[in-house]
Structure 1
Amino acid sequence: MHSRFSTLLWLEELNAERELQEFTIRGALLRKGASYLHLEVVGLAEGRPNLNIGDKVSLKKLQSDGLEMEYIGYVVEINGEDVGLRVNSGFHSSYLGEPLDVEFSLNRLTMRRCHQALELTKHFHEILFPTRVVPQTPQWTEPWMDESPTTESGNESSASVDMKSKATQTKAAVGKQTAKPLPIKGQFFNTDLNPRQREAVKRILEGECRPVPYVLFGPPGTGKTITIIEAILQVYHFLPSSRVLVCTPSNSAADLICIRLHYSGFLHAASLARVNASCREKEAIPEVLQPYSRAGEDLRHAAFHRIVVSTCSSAAMFYNVGLQVGHFTHMFLDEAGQATEPESLIPISLISEMDGQIVLAGDPCQLGPIVKSKQAAAFGLGVSLLERLMANPLYAKHDWGYNPKLVTKLIYNYRSHEALLALPSKLFYMGELCFKAQRDIVDSLCQWKGLPKKGFPLLFHGVRGEEMRECSNPSWFNPTEAVQVMMYCSELATKLYNPVPLSDIGVIAPYRKQCEKIRLLLSKRGLSDIKVGSVEEFQGQEFLVIVLSTVRSGKLAEVADAQNSLGFLDNPKRFNVAVTRSKALLIVVGDPHILIRNPCFRALLQYCLNNGAYKGCDPPQ
């Protein structure tokens, strides 16, 4: 494992360096600001190039004597395609707008941390490649007092289901903090958890199979984060010697965990620390998390909080303060499917390989880690630890189901209308997802006049548009589709009876240029508050309405997508994320004659045709 992943990391790094060299800008004209020089980088929003705060940039200028002067700048701001560079004050004041050659440098910090984690986990073979489960003495032996009459068979009244989905199971369930009486041992903090969620919490608390990782398999809208919050609270309150490290691949996911813990009302403020990377701007940290972030600034002090939240990469900072392995007793890795395996090993290396408890929460059927090197991806760097373990016989599904000591699969979906749930459930989740969403929300657009079939809130609008590019810009756009998307958004947002709030509409498009064109059209209609972005920007989020523009329309569409690793056509996981974000209405705008070549879109097209939910151009025969 060590030599394999070490090689793959070098391949990814070499690819990243080569890619950055290709994005060298000749004769760039920088804009002078009060504090920084500002550089426009076309394609930045699509990760071409991929820049982060703190990255080094070389600015080269040819002198009159033929010598080349090189100045070093550092990325301090990124706003869309505008990059703010901090440079030497003398150079900043003397710069008069002359053209410069701009070369980007690779920030190796996360890569170095991954290499270090590989070294530290060389002896973790029983954790990373488990072949058997040796039961340990449970950490929890108290009886459970399940207060809710909820049963797996689903014999609940619809009123109780509605109440639960509204109160506890959606992304919007973040509200005012209240001080609440603590439950006694054996009771749940959140009494509205369903049977699968309760089962997961019990297994995590018992920790019977530690140090072998426990997997919480959470398909879209099934309340995975709610379950993790409950498990963290149980461990914190009822395993008094525990110290919990919670990690995610991204800052936004780590912030969400922190906010949920804050608003649970069951934590003392001094128990939680949010550790941020030193390059993270204070303004980027949500205001409610500022006190916890201050607590996380002194790493040695932060490490002795009972609950520490950080990104996977930032967890490596604990190596620098000399923490003993096993300092943290529990490690929760949320959104585990989005981290490369070496990235996952950074926090895992802080856990005792003898007695530590590792919980991996995520969905191997949604978007995995972003890997740019085709060679590294081909040899497995794009496969997360979660996905690899789920293919291990110990974690795989058998005729009788999953081993309950190692895997709990959540199946109750609290997000989407059953018509929107049926296809992804069949394609990705063995048809096991059960509809439990709040009826008045998911039915709210079933009678919308734009639906070909009332009561079936799904629409495939076939458009034979034309894909285009502007000059040398590699990003595609489709004007016909952009106009159609704008018309649907306008129709929904301005309808006479119960117009849809702009914040409840999301538009997904696979190309930055298409997003740009759609935003422009929406702003002209006064609809600029509608979120428009790539599918990656929507993972983990939910909207009442999702409008999906697939853009590609032409013979070369599939070839180009495969080459650029963009778009929907080559990635079933991207398709799965895109079609599972909506609660009450999904509109797909695209060329059916191109999309039919892809198995997932072919299934969607057939599903819509079978249910009378297709309109637009003649469908393919």
Structure 2
Amino acid sequence: MSVDDSAQVARLDVYARPFIPYSLKAVNEAPVSVLPSMPVRWIDFPAYVNSFAGTSLLLADPPPADLSGQQGPSPTTNAALSPDGTSPIAAEESQELRATGYHMHFQHALIQEAGALQQECEDHALYKVPLGKAYRDPRPDMYSLQVPGLRELSLRIEIGDIVQLRPLHFDAWGEILRIPHIFRHDAVVWSIDRLRETLTLCVYGLLPRSMLFNACFSVQAGRLGALYRSVLGIQKALQGGDASWTRSMLFPEEADGSLQRTLNRFQVRVELEDPLLNYEQIRAVDTVLTNDFGRVPYLISGPPGTGKTKTLVELALQLVSKQKASHLLVCAPSDPAADTLVQRLSKHLRPSQLLRLTAPSRSFPEVPDSVLPFCYVDGDMFFLPPLAQMMRYTIVVTTCRDAELMLRGRLSNADLYSLEKGVLSMLHPEEPAPRPALHWTGLLVDEAAQATEPEALIPLSVIAPPQGYESNEQPLPLFVMAGDQNQLGPRTASRTAAMQTSLFERLLERPLYRLHPLARSKQSGGVMRPLRESMLPILRPPFANLIRNYRSHPAIIATPSSLFYNDTLEPEASSITSLLPWQGWKGSRWPVLFACNTGPDEIEQDGGGWYNNTEAKMACQYAFSFLQLGLVQAGEICIMSPFSAQVRVLRKLARHPSYNMSAVSIGPLEAFQGLESKLVILCTTRTRDRFIEQDVARGLGVIHEPRRFNVALTRAKEGLIVIGNPSVLENDKHWAAFLSFCHRNGLWEDEAGKKWEMAASNAAVVSKMERQLVYQMESEADRAQDAVIGMRRLGLGRDEDEDIWQSGMAAEAVVQDEDGIEYEDGIGHEDVPSS
């Protein structure tokens, strides 16, 4: 449906939910008898714990597994309940998070998250959809359900979740029959095919009549329950009499740091597993190994392409090699990020040393072949290894959320300490009370800025020392996080600050980090200042600032460096010039182009999302032109848009026989976080500004969304093309800076017959990297000119064109001689009065 300029349309809610006939809605409101289906296999945690410990040797049992008391992920449709299954408590989100009231702060946020998740499920409800036999699954009770949005991860669903199916009945005229009482099938998700956007459901007692159903999805109570239990556990630790470690990890103060009084000459004191680490990366690894920065979290701030994961992997390998009794928990917010960690660690560790702990809710096809040997499998699902085997792993890699498997399996430091102490005391009652060392010696979290704080608390609870342990004066666990708070943060259903602010970002805002003289925000002129004697004494910085970008051409990261990283990025990427022969680059011919498009944006009927046909054609034409020249392979091109409707239009057009570009990566912006492509084409899609406020309210688009803007621009390695309407984009200060950069360097393509003029108020400050690019370009031009002149002086390189050039210069000399301009070897200069 095209959006016109009338005031009436401007007042419409373009994101209103699609219209559903009352006859279909009435089916979901009728009384039902529930027919359950076979649940997926899950870990029997009590049986697992009983295989190695009696309950008398462990701490008190943790809270119930989930809200329903069932094993594994389970549903709840009552969003009014708080995450622990009790009635909601009227609580207000505190403006400033403190140790006191920590639980109440996040309880309120989790209640709001539960409500938003429920709304999300309702928004994805399906009406009058067919159910077919499962794809390549011969089991009799297996059916397939097509679910739009699975590919883009817009619907959160996992193996073991419940999908409520209500059958539809029709009369002879095809009208829906209103039946006073119907059966509802609680189907169980057995597998997920995101590429085909299809669920495989186990449905018991299904009678093959019309095979048309209403399908409703459920809030994953297991996910919320895990978050809530982590908050409760940390609150209990904060209130304990011996809780300085937990408090210093979550609320570090200057008193928790370490004071440096002398300048120390830095020396590499370890044999690196990766000899290609740069100075900042080596310094970060060495600082953590020496552990002289105090009892606080160590934060590695890594902008795009600066090697955060590389640094964390080296640190993990050094920690386990330095101390043979070291056992590390390494986490990431997502499965793909955790898989990447395993792939890099696997080059140095054997499957007997490295475990990829994976939840049973993950399907085997989703796990890369290179990672599978490091997973523990029991029968047909991922499982917890037996205790003896678990204790032999030097590094366990899992997601922040799946670290709850270790808590429920009683494999945390607190539980293992209690078990070991209890067994030793029971076997040797005559000996003094034993003081075992902690099993887990450290926690490393990669991409930490993408995890909610309650998610980060789950692995933190695994390594936290038990009550009373700190008085033993034994080593305490290390806590290191690497991330970038200027890119996309946690993916949440609600937009509350408590859920959208990661622990990594919150810690960086504390005075210990933010006000430190060596913090990135304190640097000026785009230069990281070294520590000077005049600055002593000073707190040893419990952070590292990575500054060397190994991903992108300098022109691509010049603007993000200036806007988000205090102009501190240094370009170090190599082999980034293969796309420069493309004739479409303009002006300075750097591999960046802004292409103007004012073609109308349109919205799918019933609020399906925004798309722009003109923009889609431009994007495909640009991609196709690179492929025709053979400058890039299809899989090395990424076309992204912040709107799912535009993604669908792009995919359909790219598959058209005139392009045949099905191998080109096309997807929503969020899908490319953490990834990189040789060529990136960004479709901003919105060419009119009347509904941008609604976009911002829902966290959509790339206008007034600085983190999305940053992610979009920093995925490209060798070429970046942005398509949009500058008159709309320039109202965003971040976009205005990028437009200014492109405009003043001629990296610009106007529409035919139109010329855009940049507003004087949008003239941005020229960044350090842009100045370097301009200087380099001018120097190369000067060297080329000097080389030509030198050859002419020697009489070399002369051809017919050169002779014509020389004749032209001689003629010009005769003309200019009358104006008092002398020439020497063809080079002109004005007469200078003699002294």
Scaled by the length of structure 2, the TM-score of the pair is 0.65
Matches within 5 A, 1:79-94: 79-80=194-195, 82-91=197-206, 94=207
Matches within 5 A, 1:289-304: 289-294=371-376, 297-299=383-385, 300=387, 301-304=389-392
Q: Do the aligned residues in 2 keep the contact of 1:30 with 1:97 (CA within 8 Å)?
A: no
The one of 57, 72, 78 equivalent to 2:163 is: 57
Aligned partner letter, 1:507: I
Aligned to 1:484, the other structure's residue is in SS state: helix
Aligned match of 1:344: 456
- 1:361 aligns to 2:482 (yes or no): yes
Aligned match of 1:156: none
Aligned match of 1:115: 228
Q: Quickly say closer, same or farther: Cα 1:506–1:131, change in 2 above 3 A.
A: same
Aligned match of 2:636: 504
- 1:426 aligns to 2:538 (yes or no): no
Aligned match of 1:312: 400
Aligned match of 1:195: 279
Q: Do the aligned residues in 2 keep the contact of 1:236 with 1:242 (CA within 8 Å)?
A: yes
Alpha-carbon distance, 1:62 to partner? 5.7
Scaled by the length of structure 1, the TM-score of the pair is 0.87
Alpha-carbon distance, 1:133 to partner? 4.5
Q: Do the aligned residues in 2 keep the contact of 1:73 with 1:85 (CA within 8 Å)?
A: no
Aligned match of 2:654: 522
- Provide the aligned length of Structure 1 versus Structure 2: 568
Q: Do the aligned residues in 1 keep the contact of 2:158 with 2:362 (CA within 8 Å)?
A: no
User: Percent identity at matched positions?
Assistant: 31
Q: Quickly say closer, same or farther: Cα 1:132–1:272, change in 2 above 3 A.
A: same
Alpha-carbon distance, 1:25 to partner? 2.4
Q: Do the aligned residues in 2 keep the contact of 1:203 with 1:405 (CA within 8 Å)?
A: no
Q: Quickly say closer, same or farther: Cα 1:465–1:53, change in 2 above 3 A.
A: farther
Q: Do the aligned residues in 1 keep the contact of 2:593 with 2:749 (CA within 8 Å)?
A: yes
- For 2:167 and 2:705, the matched residues in 1 are separated by 43
Aligned partner letter, 2:731: R
Alpha-carbon distance, 1:194 to partner? 0.7
- For 1:433 and 1:79, the matched residues in 2 are separated by 37
- For 2:280 and 2:356, the matched residues in 1 are separated by 29
Deviates more, 1:209-218 or 1:66-75: 209-218
Alpha-carbon distance, 1:195 to partner? 0.6
Matches within 5 A, 1:176-191: 186-191=270-275
Q: Do the aligned residues in 1 keep the contact of 2:151 with 2:194 (CA within 8 Å)?
A: no
Matches within 5 A, 1:327-342: 327-342=439-454
Q: Quickly say closer, same or farther: Cα 1:420–1:540, change in 2 above 3 A.
A: same
Deviations 1:415-474 (A, max 9, x none): 111111211100000000001111xx2122234200112541110000001112232252
Q: Quickly say closer, same or farther: Cα 1:256–1:47, change in 2 above 3 A.
A: closer
Matches within 5 A, 1:453-464: 453-464=587-598
Aligned match of 2:553: 417
Deviates more, 1:571-580 or 1:447-456: 447-456
Deviates more, 1:208-217 or 1:388-397: 208-217
Aligned match of 2:357: 275
Matches within 5 A, 1:219-298: 219-263=303-347, 266-294=348-376, 297-298=383-384
Aligned match of 2:185: 71
Aligned match of 1:575: 709
Q: Do the aligned residues in 2 keep the contact of 1:144 with 1:186 (CA within 8 Å)?
A: no
- For 1:47 and 1:271, the matched residues in 2 are separated by 33
Aligned match of 2:507: 389
Q: Do the aligned residues in 1 keep the contact of 2:579 with 2:631 (CA within 8 Å)?
A: no
Aligned to 1:586, the other structure's residue is in SS state: strand
Aligned to 2:346, the other structure's residue is in SS state: helix
Alpha-carbon distance, 1:620 to partner? 4.9
Aligned partner letter, 2:357: V
Alpha-carbon distance, 1:477 to partner? 0.9
The one of 89, 95, 99 equivalent to 2:208 is: 95
Aligned match of 1:181: none
Alpha-carbon distance, 1:7 to partner? 1.4
Alpha-carbon distance, 1:493 to partner? 1.0
Alpha-carbon distance, 1:579 to partner? 0.4
Q: Do the aligned residues in 1 keep the contact of 2:284 with 2:544 (CA within 8 Å)?
A: yes
Q: Do the aligned residues in 2 keep the contact of 1:504 with 1:544 (CA within 8 Å)?
A: yes
- For 1:478 and 1:132, the matched residues in 2 are separated by 52
Alpha-carbon distance, 1:393 to partner? 0.6
Alpha-carbon distance, 1:47 to partner? 4.9
Deviations 1:140-198 (A, max 9, x none): xxx9964xxxxxxxxxxxxxxxxxxxxxxxxxxxxxxxxxxxxxx72111111111000
Deviates more, 1:250-259 or 1:32-41: 32-41
Aligned to 1:349, the other structure's residue is in SS state: helix
- For 2:595 and 2:168, the matched residues in 1 are separated by 54
Max Rg structure: 2
Deviations 1:110-164 (A, max 9, x none): 2111111112212222210111244689xxxxx9964xxxxxxxxxxxxxxxxxx
Alpha-carbon distance, 1:74 to partner? 1.9
Q: Do the aligned residues in 1 keep the contact of 2:150 with 2:194 (CA within 8 Å)?
A: no
Q: Do the aligned residues in 1 keep the contact of 2:642 with 2:701 (CA within 8 Å)?
A: yes
- For 2:127 and 2:518, the matched residues in 1 are separated by 62
- For 1:69 and 1:491, the matched residues in 2 are separated by 56
Q: Do the aligned residues in 2 keep the contact of 1:41 with 1:81 (CA within 8 Å)?
A: no
Aligned partner letter, 2:632: V
Structure 1, unmatched stretches of 5+, are: 138-142, 147-184
Aligned match of 1:127: 249
Aligned partner letter, 2:454: P
- For 1:298 and 1:47, the matched residues in 2 are separated by 27
Q: Do the aligned residues in 1 keep the contact of 2:578 with 2:631 (CA within 8 Å)?
A: no
Q: Quickly say closer, same or farther: Cα 1:193–1:418, change in 2 above 3 A.
A: same
Q: Do the aligned residues in 2 keep the contact of 1:338 with 1:369 (CA within 8 Å)?
A: yes
- For 2:512 and 2:674, the matched residues in 1 are separated by 28
- For 2:153 and 2:313, the matched residues in 1 are separated by 32
Q: Tell me the C-alpha RMSD between the 2 structures.
A: 2.3
- For 1:130 and 1:256, the matched residues in 2 are separated by 30
The one of 3, 6, 9 equivalent to 2:110 is: 9
